Amino acid sequence: MSSHPVVETKDINLSWNGHTILENINIKISAGEMVGIIGPNGAGKTTLLRIILGLVKPTRGEVRIFGSPPEKLGKLRDKIGYMPQRPHFKSFFPLSTLDVVAMGGFTRSFLGKPASRPQRKKARSSLEKVGLLSLESKPFAELSGGQQQRAFLARALCKDPLLLILDEPNAGLDLPSQQRFFSLLKELQESSGITVVIVSHDLAVISGFASQLICINRTMHVHGSPLEVLNSPNLEEAYRCEVDVFYGRGRC
Amino acid, single-letter form, for residue 104: G
CATH code of the domain made up of 7-87+161-239: 3.40.50.300
* Residue 96 three-state SS: strand
* Residue 238 pLDDT: 85
Q: Which residues are bridge partners to 197 per DSSP?
A: 35, 165
* Residue 9 pLDDT: 96
pLDDT tens column, 84-128:
886 655 555 678 999 889 987 655 444 455 677 888 899 999 999
pLDDT at 41 over 50: yes
Could you give the maximum distance between any two Cα atoms of the chain, in Å?
A: 55
If you average pLDDT over every residue of the chain, what do you get?
85
Backbone torsions φ then ψ of 164, nearest 5 degrees: -120, 125
The answer to whether the CB of 129 falls within 8 A of the CB of 188 is yes
Q: Supply the pTM of this predicted model.
A: 0.86
